[in-house]
Amino acid sequence: MGLPDKLNPLLRDLPVYQPGRPLEEVAREIGSSPDHLIKLASNENPLGPSPKAVAAMENAAGEMNRYPDGNVFYLREHLS
């Protein structure tokens, strides 16, 4: 019995993700520039991440070698 046989059929039989075509290919096909198109497929954000999100990631980068607090001590403390 191989691994695929052990998987839940609901998961095993899910269709494989089909990514959208690259923006450059669509632009070429319609005779436009990629700079004039906004791709909204594939859950992409044409505006990029917010400055606050970038700052939060930069602040967290120095602690990525540690596991997060699974008991969410500070969150519980704040909420109580």
The amino acid at 56: A
Position 55 confidence tier, pLDDT thresholds 50, 70, 90: very high
Q: Whole-prediction pTM value?
A: 0.47
Q: Which domain holds residue 19?
A: 3-63
DSSP assignment, residue 64? T
- Two structure tokens written together for 37: 């198109």
In a domain, 30, yes or no: yes
In a domain, 21, yes or no: yes
Please tell me the total count of domains within the chain: 1
In a domain, 13, yes or no: yes
Position 51 confidence tier, pLDDT thresholds 50, 70, 90: very high
Per-residue model confidence as pLDDT tens digits over 4-47: 788 898 988 999 988 888 889 999 999 999 999 988 877 788 88
In a domain, 39, yes or no: yes
- Two structure tokens written together for 71: 């008991």
Nearest to 38 by CA among 56, 55, 26: 26
